[in-house]
Amino acid sequence: GDGGGSGRKKPNILITGTPGTGKTTTSSLLADAAQLRHINVGDLVKQKNLHDGWDEDLQCHVVDEDLVCDELEDMMEEGGNIVDYHGCDFFPERWFDCVVVLQTDNPILYDRLSNRGYTGSKLSNNIECEIFQVLLEEAKASYPDNIVVALQSDSIEDMSKNVETLVDWVRRWSPAS
Ligand code: ADP
Ligand code: MN
Protein backbone atom coordinates (compact mmCIF):
# COMPACT_ATOMS: atom_id res chain seq x y z
CA GLY A 1 0.00 0.00 0.00
CA ASP A 2 0.99 3.64 -0.23
CA GLY A 3 -1.04 5.15 2.58
CA GLY A 4 0.33 6.36 5.85
CA GLY A 5 3.87 5.11 5.32
CA SER A 6 6.13 6.04 8.19
CA GLY A 7 9.28 6.22 6.07
CA ARG A 8 11.01 3.76 8.41
CA LYS A 9 13.05 0.98 6.83
CA LYS A 10 12.95 -1.09 10.02
CA PRO A 11 10.12 -1.34 12.53
CA ASN A 12 9.95 0.15 16.01
CA ILE A 13 8.76 -2.15 18.79
CA LEU A 14 7.63 -1.11 22.26
CA ILE A 15 8.12 -3.73 24.96
CA THR A 16 6.13 -2.81 28.04
CA GLY A 17 4.76 -4.53 31.14
CA THR A 18 4.91 -4.42 34.93
CA PRO A 19 8.46 -4.32 36.37
CA GLY A 20 9.84 -7.87 36.59
CA THR A 21 7.89 -9.30 33.64
CA GLY A 22 11.09 -9.59 31.59
CA LYS A 23 11.15 -6.49 29.39
CA THR A 24 14.89 -5.88 29.56
CA THR A 25 15.92 -9.53 29.20
CA THR A 26 13.53 -10.06 26.29
CA SER A 27 14.49 -6.78 24.59
CA SER A 28 18.16 -7.55 24.83
CA LEU A 29 17.75 -11.04 23.30
CA LEU A 30 15.50 -9.66 20.56
CA ALA A 31 17.90 -6.81 19.79
CA ASP A 32 20.72 -9.30 19.24
CA ALA A 33 18.63 -11.73 17.21
CA ALA A 34 16.91 -9.16 14.97
CA GLN A 35 19.69 -6.55 14.88
CA LEU A 36 17.65 -3.79 16.41
CA ARG A 37 18.68 -1.04 18.85
CA HIS A 38 17.63 -1.69 22.46
CA ILE A 39 16.62 1.50 24.26
CA ASN A 40 16.16 0.96 28.00
CA VAL A 41 14.21 4.10 28.86
CA GLY A 42 14.81 3.79 32.62
CA ASP A 43 18.58 3.71 32.09
CA LEU A 44 18.40 6.57 29.58
CA VAL A 45 16.47 8.71 32.08
CA LYS A 46 19.23 8.20 34.65
CA GLN A 47 22.13 8.67 32.20
CA LYS A 48 20.74 11.84 30.64
CA ASN A 49 18.97 13.20 33.70
CA LEU A 50 15.57 13.19 32.03
CA HIS A 51 13.79 13.47 35.38
CA ASP A 52 12.58 16.00 37.93
CA GLY A 53 13.98 14.44 41.07
CA TRP A 54 13.01 11.44 43.18
CA ASP A 55 9.53 10.40 44.30
CA GLU A 56 9.87 9.24 47.92
CA ASP A 57 6.48 7.52 47.99
CA LEU A 58 6.92 5.55 44.78
CA GLN A 59 10.69 5.18 45.29
CA CYS A 60 11.48 6.07 41.70
CA HIS A 61 12.56 8.98 39.52
CA VAL A 62 9.86 11.38 38.38
CA VAL A 63 10.32 10.98 34.66
CA ASP A 64 10.09 14.09 32.49
CA GLU A 65 8.05 12.58 29.66
CA ASP A 66 8.58 15.50 27.26
CA LEU A 67 12.36 15.30 27.67
CA VAL A 68 12.25 11.54 27.06
CA CYS A 69 10.26 11.99 23.84
CA ASP A 70 12.59 14.76 22.62
CA GLU A 71 15.59 12.55 23.32
CA LEU A 72 14.12 9.61 21.37
CA GLU A 73 12.51 11.40 18.41
CA ASP A 74 15.39 11.17 15.90
CA MET A 75 16.10 7.50 16.59
CA MET A 76 12.42 6.63 16.37
CA GLU A 77 12.11 8.41 13.05
CA GLU A 78 15.04 6.39 11.75
CA GLY A 79 13.42 3.09 12.90
CA GLY A 80 14.85 -0.22 14.08
CA ASN A 81 14.32 0.38 17.81
CA ILE A 82 13.12 -1.68 20.72
CA VAL A 83 11.84 0.66 23.43
CA ASP A 84 11.83 -1.00 26.87
CA TYR A 85 9.70 0.77 29.49
CA HIS A 86 7.06 0.09 32.17
CA GLY A 87 4.76 2.75 30.76
CA CYS A 88 3.42 3.44 27.30
CA ASP A 89 0.85 6.25 27.33
CA PHE A 90 3.14 9.22 26.70
CA PHE A 91 4.96 8.10 23.56
CA PRO A 92 3.57 9.32 20.23
CA GLU A 93 1.30 6.65 18.74
CA ARG A 94 2.98 7.02 15.32
CA TRP A 95 6.33 5.76 16.69
CA PHE A 96 5.41 2.08 16.99
CA ASP A 97 4.64 -0.74 14.59
CA CYS A 98 4.16 -3.27 17.38
CA VAL A 99 3.40 -2.92 21.10
CA VAL A 100 4.22 -5.97 23.22
CA VAL A 101 2.81 -6.27 26.74
CA LEU A 102 4.63 -8.92 28.78
CA GLN A 103 2.61 -10.64 31.50
CA THR A 104 3.65 -12.89 34.37
CA ASP A 105 1.67 -15.05 36.81
CA ASN A 106 1.56 -13.45 40.22
CA PRO A 107 3.50 -15.93 42.40
CA ILE A 108 6.29 -15.91 39.81
CA LEU A 109 6.33 -12.12 39.59
CA TYR A 110 6.28 -11.87 43.39
CA ASP A 111 9.44 -14.00 43.62
CA ARG A 112 11.21 -12.02 40.90
CA LEU A 113 10.47 -8.66 42.54
CA SER A 114 11.39 -9.96 46.01
CA ASN A 115 14.69 -11.20 44.60
CA ARG A 116 15.21 -7.73 43.21
CA GLY A 117 14.85 -6.38 46.75
CA TYR A 118 11.36 -4.92 46.42
CA THR A 119 9.40 -4.88 49.70
CA GLY A 120 6.34 -3.18 51.21
CA SER A 121 4.27 -0.87 49.04
CA LYS A 122 6.78 -0.95 46.19
CA LEU A 123 6.25 -4.72 45.96
CA SER A 124 2.47 -4.66 46.47
CA ASN A 125 1.93 -1.75 44.02
CA ASN A 126 3.68 -3.68 41.28
CA ILE A 127 1.81 -6.91 42.06
CA GLU A 128 -1.49 -5.00 41.90
CA CYS A 129 -0.41 -3.38 38.65
CA GLU A 130 -0.07 -6.88 37.19
CA ILE A 131 -3.32 -8.24 38.72
CA PHE A 132 -5.32 -5.38 37.21
CA GLN A 133 -3.50 -5.62 33.86
CA VAL A 134 -2.72 -1.92 34.04
CA LEU A 135 -0.15 -1.98 31.24
CA LEU A 136 -2.36 -3.99 28.89
CA GLU A 137 -5.21 -1.54 29.43
CA GLU A 138 -2.84 1.41 28.98
CA ALA A 139 -1.50 -0.09 25.74
CA LYS A 140 -5.01 -0.75 24.39
CA ALA A 141 -6.04 2.81 25.26
CA SER A 142 -2.97 4.32 23.60
CA TYR A 143 -2.42 2.28 20.40
CA PRO A 144 -4.52 0.64 17.67
CA ASP A 145 -5.82 -2.79 18.75
CA ASN A 146 -4.18 -4.56 15.82
CA ILE A 147 -0.63 -3.64 16.91
CA VAL A 148 -0.98 -4.55 20.62
CA VAL A 149 -0.01 -8.08 21.63
CA ALA A 150 0.07 -9.62 25.13
CA LEU A 151 2.72 -12.31 25.65
CA GLN A 152 3.10 -14.56 28.69
CA SER A 153 6.54 -14.38 30.31
CA ASP A 154 6.58 -16.95 33.14
CA SER A 155 9.45 -19.19 32.06
CA ILE A 156 12.62 -19.32 30.01
CA GLU A 157 10.62 -21.36 27.46
CA ASP A 158 8.08 -18.53 27.23
CA MET A 159 10.86 -16.02 26.72
CA SER A 160 12.51 -18.07 23.94
CA LYS A 161 9.17 -18.51 22.21
CA ASN A 162 8.39 -14.79 22.51
CA VAL A 163 11.76 -13.81 21.05
CA GLU A 164 11.29 -16.30 18.21
CA THR A 165 7.79 -14.96 17.46
CA LEU A 166 9.05 -11.38 17.41
CA VAL A 167 12.10 -12.18 15.27
CA ASP A 168 9.72 -13.75 12.72
CA TRP A 169 7.49 -10.70 12.86
CA VAL A 170 10.47 -8.36 12.25
CA ARG A 171 11.62 -10.48 9.27
CA ARG A 172 8.16 -10.31 7.72
CA TRP A 173 7.64 -6.60 8.40
CA SER A 174 7.89 -4.32 5.41
CA PRO A 175 7.79 -0.51 5.32
CA ALA A 176 4.61 -0.47 3.23
CA SER A 177 2.63 -2.80 5.47
P1 ADP B 1 11.90 -6.01 33.60
O2 ADP B 1 12.89 -5.35 32.68
O3 ADP B 1 10.54 -6.16 33.00
O4 ADP B 1 11.84 -5.36 34.95
P5 ADP B 1 13.86 -8.15 33.68
O6 ADP B 1 14.13 -8.49 32.26
O7 ADP B 1 14.86 -7.30 34.39
O8 ADP B 1 12.40 -7.52 33.85
O9 ADP B 1 13.65 -9.52 34.44
C10 ADP B 1 13.53 -9.58 35.87
C11 ADP B 1 14.12 -10.89 36.37
O12 ADP B 1 13.29 -11.97 35.98
C13 ADP B 1 15.50 -11.20 35.81
O14 ADP B 1 16.24 -11.87 36.81
C15 ADP B 1 15.22 -12.12 34.66
O16 ADP B 1 16.26 -13.00 34.40
C17 ADP B 1 13.98 -12.87 35.14
N18 ADP B 1 13.06 -13.20 34.04
C19 ADP B 1 12.46 -12.31 33.23
N20 ADP B 1 11.65 -12.92 32.36
C21 ADP B 1 11.74 -14.24 32.64
C22 ADP B 1 11.13 -15.41 32.08
N23 ADP B 1 10.25 -15.34 31.06
N24 ADP B 1 11.45 -16.61 32.60
C25 ADP B 1 12.33 -16.70 33.62
N26 ADP B 1 12.93 -15.64 34.20
C27 ADP B 1 12.65 -14.43 33.70
MN1 MN C 1 14.00 -3.51 32.96
Percent of the chain with pLDDT over 90: 89
147: β partners: none
Ligand 1 neighbour 21 (Cβ under 6 A): yes
Separation between Cα atoms, residue 93 and residue 97, nearest integer Å: 9
25 touches ligand 1 (CB under 6 Å): yes
- Residues 4-29 have a mean pLDDT of 93
Cβ(17) – ligand 1 distance below 6 Å = yes
Q: Which ligand is nearest to the CA of 108?
A: 1
Length of the chain: 177
Delineate the domains of the chain, giving CATH numbers in brackets. Answer: 13-171 (3.40.50.300)
More confident residue, 177 or 143: 143
Instruction: Identify whether the C-beta of residue 90 lies closer than 8 Å to the C-beta of residue 21.
Output: no
Residue 3 pLDDT greater than 70, yes or no: no
8 A C-beta contact, residue 160 and residue 166: no
Residue of minimum CA distance from atom 18 in ligand 1:
22
Does any ligand 1 atom lie closer than 6 A to the CB of residue 87?
A: no
> 20 in ligand 1 pocket by Cβ < 6 Å?
yes
Q: What is the torsional sign of CA 152, 75, 69, 7?
A: negative
Nearest ligand to residue 115 Cα: 1
pLDDT tens for 73-109 read 999 999 999 999 999 999 999 999 999 999 999 999 9
In the chain, the amino acid numbered 82 is I
pLDDT at 5: 62
